[in-house]
Structure 1
Amino acid sequence: MKAFGFLSFGHYALGNQPGPDARQVLKDGLAIAQAADEIGVNNASFRVHHFAPQGAAPMPLLGAIAGSTKKIEVGTGVIDLRYENPLYLAEELAALDLLSDGRLAIGVSRGSPEPAERGWESFGYRADAPNGSDMARAKFEQLLDAVDGHGVAKAASAEQQYPRMYHEGTPLPVFPHSPELRKNIFYGAGSNASAIQSAQDGVNLMSSTLVSEADGRTLGEIQAEQIQLYRDTWKEAGHDWTPRVSISRSIFPILTDRDRQLFATSATSSDQIGSLGENRNVTFGRSYAAEPDVLIEQLKDDPAIAAADTLLLTIPNQMGVDLNVSILRNFAERVAPALGWVPNTDGRVAGYEI
């Protein structure tokens, strides 16, 4: 592990429920990212989930963070492509990439099970597959074409153009174009097959706190195999740059009585097998909560942490700025250095140019 960041699910309360509302959670996310930037944390990422009281449209928040920080990269884990216009998304990402000087780590994927039944249809999109996977794949390919600057429309006749810029029929890309943007795109892979496809597609790999393989191995063992398959496939594909791999874990260093009271009971001794809809079992990652020296030994035993270059800590965002900054600071000062962490001091993440 060379870099670490945080992943916020952006949970907020509705109506008379206890807890922060959407406005407060967004402002808290900005404040946590600003404090993390000062600590030297490498990444601030946010979950995207529709039809639920969580983060949904990430670009305003990512733009606010990028504009008020100096070094930390901003990202998503992940954008559900079933809900996106891929060409508009390519424009947004390119603009954010240029404004942030390349400080992006944007995760995209087909998306996960959700509260809405075929919710993407309410956004105006149609798919043949019940889970929308066919449409998501087509959108992903179109997104990459647009990101790479390929023509995705044709110029109209000279009489129709205003202003007149192109010969009729000229392939037109979307603008703006950020030449290095593809290197900042991650695919959220939940299986070996999707990890292999990500390598063939030439994008970075993002693996979460669960995977669709459920065969009795630990999450770390399954993800380590997934990462190796990804890197082997990347090498076979002959891409001319070095990709990144990120994973997520729930980790709470215990340094004070408050830490112990809040997090000690959340620790689990092993991963779990559960169901995530679509009639399939998945392996869920355990939660870690212990004193720093214990955490270090536990995390060193996780082969996926050793294999990945970036670790994202899932944070309890609804518990406020001070507590979450404390979690990040404690991890940065007492745990991460023993795992090989390189603090973000000059706009680089894990030895990769941003």
Structure 2
Amino acid sequence: MQRFGTLSFGHYGPLGGGRQLTAADSMLQAIDLAQGIDDLGVNGSYFRVHHFARQQSSPMPLLAAIAARTQRIEVGTGVIDMRYENPLHLAEEAASVDLISGGRLALGVSRGSPETVVRGYETFGYTGSEDPRGADIAREHFDLFLRAIEGEGLAERDATSAFGPGATGMQRIEPQSPGLRSRVWWGAGNRDSAEWAGRVGVNLMSSTLLTAADGRAFDLLQAEQIDAFRTAWRDAGHAGEPRVSVSRSIFPLVTAEDHMYFGGRQDGDQIGVIDGIRSTFGKTYAAEPDVLVEQLLEDAAIRSADTLMLTIPSQLGVEFNLRVVASFAEHVAPALGWVSTRG
């Protein structure tokens, strides 16, 4: 494990006891937390994206704000649902954030997860899918997005335009950010989509669940998926080594408050049904730091990935989450191979 960061679902709404976390609270606290983890030398701040839900839905303004207030951390998504995206608009926004951050964007995209609404992407204007989950729309949008950030000319120049008279040929979108293509990740929930990402030549964000359930532990299924991705990458002839991230719920139990919230939360893998497919969900780790180190060193997927994303309970606020991250950075991460960006 070379890097780790936080993955926030960005929930807001009622907290109980008459308390309320607003959308503004959620975003402003995310900026404050990102600043804090940047100061700790942690590597990244990443956000889930969900539409029609009280969660982050338009991450680019948030990522730009975080990029402007931090110096070292990656700012990213895990993941943007490509069914909902205008690929050229996303290409412009991604390049802008990447330029603002100095090349620190880690843009995770995918088909997206199950929704709270029925085919919500159609409400956004993206119709015509022949797949019940809209995977064909997501792949089409992703293909055009990649072509755009690679600088392909996509619109015919107007030779009569006052802004470039006589120009001919095809015009690319602007701005362009050098190297952005290498900072794009595909979120995969099964082996087939991971192999596809390897063939395309983008990094892999392995999901917190896999649409497979054959009796083997989640970490073994996930490690197998990662191996298949890397094999597909090599077989496609791509240069260099791709990056791979995995997500986990991990809570070092250091204080009485930690025990109150997460003591007894240690559980095994779970089997459930998602999108009509029998799936395996990864377990929660919650234990004293020395026990966590032993457990995480046995996690085959964490050993295989270079980046670990800690899912955090964002509703508990900046101070609590910063302390959880600091505890992991101090007591657990170094034993897994991590070195702070502060040296």
TM-score by length of 2: 0.97
Q: 2:272 aligns with which of 265, 271, 274?
A: 274
In the alignment, structure 1 residue 44 sits paired with structure 2 residue 45: yes
Q: How far apart are the structure 2 equivalents of 1:91 and 1:15?
A: 36
In the alignment, structure 1 residue 329 sits paired with structure 2 residue 326: yes
Q: 2:296 aligns with which of 273, 283, 299?
A: 299
Q: How far apart are the structure 2 equivalents of 1:184 and 1:77?
A: 13
Q: Name the counterpart of 2:79.
A: 78
- 1:224 Cα deviation after fit: 0.5
Deviations 1:163-187 (A, max 9, x none): 125633x111101111200111100
- 1:241 Cα deviation after fit: 2.7
- State the SS of the aligned residue for 1:266: coil
Q: Name the counterpart of 2:24.
A: 23
- 1:345 Cα deviation after fit: 3.0
Segments of 5+ residues of structure 2 without an aligned counterpart are none
Deviations 1:33-56 (A, max 9, x none): 100000011010000000010110
- 1:18 Cα deviation after fit: 3.8
Deviations 1:290-325 (A, max 9, x none): 000000001011000000000000000000011000
- State the SS of the aligned residue for 2:308: strand
In the alignment, structure 1 residue 289 sits paired with structure 2 residue 286: yes
Evaluate the alpha carbon distance shift between residue 165 and residue 235 of structure 1 in structure 2; reply closer, same or farther with a 3 A threshold.
Answer: farther
Q: How far apart are the structure 2 equivalents of 1:144 and 1:254?
A: 43
In terms of mean alpha carbon deviation, does 3-12 or 213-222 score higher?
213-222
Evaluate the alpha carbon distance shift between residue 266 and residue 235 of structure 1 in structure 2; reply closer, same or farther with a 3 A threshold.
Answer: same
Q: Name the counterpart of 2:110.
A: 109
Q: How far apart are the structure 2 equivalents of 1:55 and 1:217?
A: 33
Q: How far apart are the structure 2 equivalents of 1:148 and 1:14?
A: 43
Q: Name the counterpart of 2:12.
A: 12
Q: Name the counterpart of 2:152.
A: 150
Q: Name the counterpart of 1:164.
A: 164
Q: How far apart are the structure 2 equivalents of 1:260 and 1:66?
A: 33
Matched residue type, 2:329 = A
- 1:108 Cα deviation after fit: 0.0
Q: How far apart are the structure 2 equivalents of 1:166 and 1:32?
A: 51
Q: Name the counterpart of 1:211.
A: 210
Aligned residue-pair number = 341
8 Å contact kept, 2:40–2:342:
no
8 Å contact kept, 1:81–1:140:
yes
8 Å contact kept, 1:252–1:263:
yes
Matched residue type, 2:271 = I
8 Å contact kept, 1:14–1:53:
no
Evaluate the alpha carbon distance shift between residue 83 and residue 334 of structure 1 in structure 2; reply closer, same or farther with a 3 A threshold.
Answer: same
- State the SS of the aligned residue for 1:30: helix
- 1:152 Cα deviation after fit: 1.4
Segments of 5+ residues of structure 1 without an aligned counterpart are 347-354
8 Å contact kept, 1:71–1:345:
no
- 1:19 Cα deviation after fit: 3.7
Q: Name the counterpart of 2:89.
A: 88
Deviations 1:191-210 (A, max 9, x none): 11000000111100001211
Identity %: 52
Matched residue type, 1:343 = S
Q: Name the counterpart of 1:189.
A: 188
TM-score by length of 1: 0.94
Q: How far apart are the structure 2 equivalents of 1:291 and 1:152?
A: 55
Deviations 1:93-130 (A, max 9, x none): 11111111100111000011101111011111112222
Q: How far apart are the structure 1 equivalents of 2:162 and 2:124?
A: 30
Q: How far apart are the structure 2 equivalents of 1:211 and 1:154?
A: 43
Evaluate the alpha carbon distance shift between residue 263 and residue 19 of structure 1 in structure 2; reply closer, same or farther with a 3 A threshold.
Answer: farther
Q: Name the counterpart of 2:235.
A: 236
Deviations 1:50-75 (A, max 9, x none): 00101100011100110000100100
Structure 1 residue ranges, 4+ long, deviating more than 2 angstroms after superposition = 14-19, 165-168
8 Å contact kept, 1:47–1:55:
yes
Q: Name the counterpart of 1:351.
A: none
8 Å contact kept, 1:44–1:74:
yes
Evaluate the alpha carbon distance shift between residue 308 and residue 327 of structure 1 in structure 2; reply closer, same or farther with a 3 A threshold.
Answer: same
- 1:14 Cα deviation after fit: 5.4
Q: How far apart are the structure 1 equivalents of 2:170 and 2:200?
A: 23
